[in-house]
């Protein structure tokens, strides 16, 4: 199944959930893309200890997920 997740929020929790969902779907062997729009493009600067967005994004891309902005 091909899935695209669209994120357009600067809220770290929302982006964290988008990356978590994408990573879970990749584990199930789905084709997953995450499209970052607007303030979500700056996800790396929103990362905190509670919401490790850069780590999740790295796992996502290394698992052959497509990260689009």
The tens digit of pLDDT for each residue in 1-17 reads: 899 999 999 999 999 99
Domain that holds residue 7: 2-68
Does residue 30 register a pLDDT over 90?
no
pTM confidence score: 0.92
Taking all residues of the chain, what is their mean pLDDT, rounded to a whole number? Answer: 96
Total domains in the fold of the chain: 1
Pair of tokens at residue 48: 């905190």
Does residue 48 register a pLDDT over 90?
yes
**What pLDDT band is residue 32 in, cutting at 50, 70 and 90?**
very high
Strand order in the sheet with 2-7: 2-7, 31-36, 66-68
């Amino acid at each position: 199944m091909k899935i695209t997740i669209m994120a357009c929020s600067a809220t770290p929790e929302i982006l964290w959930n988008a990356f978590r969902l994408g990573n879970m779907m990749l584990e199930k062997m789905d084709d997953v893309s995450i499209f970052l729009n607007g303030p979500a493009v700056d996800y790396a600067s929103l990362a905190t200890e509670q919401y490790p967005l850069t780590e999740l994004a790295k796992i996502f891309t290394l698992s052959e997920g497509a990260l689009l902005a």
